[in-house]
Chains A and B, each alone.
Chain A
Amino acid sequence: AQSVTQPDIHITVSEGASLELRCNYSYGATPYLFWYVQSPGQGLQLLLKYFSGDTLVQGIKGFEAEFKRSQSSFNLRKPSVHWSDAAEYFCAVGAGLGRLYFGRGTQLTVWP
């Protein structure tokens, strides 16, 4: 069965610091992996996706993620966080067409 684990419920970083959000997945076939961001009261916006090829993928807003098959991981990174990055981040695995299994989310707080 498909599942996604985001081990960190809440992360706090200082503005300008680096960021890594963890994501582990369980999926029987080749995974299609996504990171979405949700600002308060808003819908979900796609940050980046991995379908195949280069395991380091670049997204919007300076984010990147690395797919590691051996670790079943797809961690999200950003070298320098901005206050506007404060939001909730969701990792998801594709289960056919656009059907997604989501992790429980990681809430990011950014201190000035």
Chain B
Amino acid sequence: IAGITQAPTSQILAAGRRMTLRCTQDMRHNAMYWYRQDLGLGLRLIHYSNTAGTTGKGEVPDGYSVSRANTDDFPLTLASAVPSQTSVYFCASSATGQPTEAFFGQGTRLTVV
């Protein structure tokens, strides 16, 4: 089934450790995004990429980095995790061209202890 695959589904991580959340899409969408979802705050954009080789900062980029080596993959890295990064992370993708809708993965639940 075409769509977005995120891994892992959930993870408990010690504070200070490095972690990479993986995201792969098979829809050949040029644009990809990472959001975090926190109770009472909705979803907030962390980083985005309009096309392979380019990335940009969203609303809450601090403490996160991304890379976009190819069209299909968009990993999100926490270099040194902190408890405030406990959240549910969603990867999304969209075709280029205005306007367009985003398609979401199933999410990664991350707990930093």
* Residues of A with C-beta under 8 A to B59: 101
Interface: B22 (CB within 8 A)? no
Given the contacts A43-B90, A43-B107, A98 and B40 also touching, CB distance less than 8 Å: no
Task: Give the A-B contact count at a CB cut-off of 8 A.
Answer: 61
From A13-21, A64-72, A102-110, give the one contacting chain B. Answer: A102-110
Does the CB pair B102–A98 fall under 8 Å?
yes
Interface residues on B, range: 20 to 34
Considering the complex, give the chain B residue whose CB is closest to the CB of A33.
B99
8 pairs of A and B residues whose beta carbons are closest in the complex = A98-B94, A98-B102, A102-B42, A43-B104, A44-B104, A104-B42, A32-B99, A102-B43
Residues of A within 8 A of B (CB): 4, 9, 32, 34, 36, 42-46, 49, 51, 90, 92, 94, 96-105
